[in-house]
Amino acid sequence: MSSDFTIADCGDSALVAKAVGLDAEPAWRLVHALADALNAVRLTGVHDVVPTYDALLVEFDCAATDHDTVRRVLAHEAARLGPHPAPTTPPRRFVVPVVYGGEYGPDLPEVAAQLGVTEGEIIALHSGSDLTVRCLGAPAGAPMTDGPPFPKPVPRLASPRTKVAPGSVAVAGRQAVICPMPSPGGWPLLGRTPVRVLDLHSDPITAYRPGDTFRFVPIEPQQWDEYADLALGDLANSVVGHG
């Protein structure tokens, strides 16, 4: 077995492979390449793969296969890939307008206080660099990116919200996300984008893929309506003027 990751049982119908001893970038590359490789071999009984930042969940029907078989194929594919698999698709860049603070990002003051910086500095850091999409996750295919270069990790809310507005831009730990649909959530909210994140009539329903990048651009609340008819897919490789 490759020494770059460990495999653990995750109940009777799943395994989780985790990259170890690798930096964030090669760890992420490895688990996504492994997910692609596992999909390509179409192993009987395996129905879902969930590659994230440094881990890969493999879900299967244990009436049709077993842990040992899936483990063996994972190890074989990892050995075949080698430690530094190349990316398979060219990344795209999405420029995403965000109204920060106020009712749009009610946790902005609290996050600034926790990190010991000003609200303006939080906004500058969040919108100051391209953030890479690492995986699609909860809720509803949310784009999960690297966190902005904050001085330290952002704690989750002590009491999660029962409903987070769609388009909310949130951070936690060393991660950031856009919440595509109204849903419960425990991540502090910095702002909100007026653009529609998902398109239920396309397949997949998300325009972005792991490896793509997001650049958040601050806009004023009165600019909300200018972007309200747009979908995230319309913003690929686009330019948004500063407000």
Binding-site member from 22, 95, 125, 140 for other proteins (CB under 8 A): 140
Whether the Cβ atoms of residue 5 and residue 19 lie closer than 8 Å to each other: yes
The Cα–Cα gap between 197 and 235 comes to 10
Which residue, among 12, 17, 16, 18, has the nearest Cα to 65 in the 3D structure?
Answer: 12
Task: Among 12, 25, 229, 234, indicate the residue that binds other proteins (CB under 8 A).
Answer: 12
Q: Please state the closest distance from residue 65 (CB atom) to other proteins, in A.
A: 10
Show the site string, 54-73: x = touches other proteins by CB under 8 A, - = not.
xxxx-x--xx--xx------
Q: Which is nearer to other proteins, 193 or 206 (CB)?
A: 206
103 scored as a contact of other proteins (CB under 8 A): no
| Least distance between other proteins and beta carbon 223 (Å) | 27
Strands (E), the chain: 5-9, 14-19, 46-51, 55-60, 93-100, 131-137, 142-146, 161-164, 168-172, 175-178, 183-185, 189-192, 213-218
- In angstroms, what CA-CA distances link 63 with 7, 12, 75, 178, 192? 20, 10, 21, 37, 44
CA distance 174 to 153: 5
Single-letter code of the amino acid located at 114: Q
Q: Which CB sits closer to other proteins, 108 or 133?
A: 133
- Closer to other proteins by CB, 109 or 137: give it: 137
- What's the CA gap between 210 and 60, in Å, rounded? 23
Identified binder of other proteins from the candidate list 21, 102, 186, 241, rule CB under 8 A:
186
Q: Residues 43, 70, 96, 172: which binds other proteins (CB under 8 A)?
A: 172
Contacts with other proteins by CB under 8 A lie at: 8-14, 16, 18, 35, 47-57, 59, 62-63, 66-67, 135-142, 144, 153, 156, 158-160, 172-175, 181-183, 186, 198, 200, 203-206
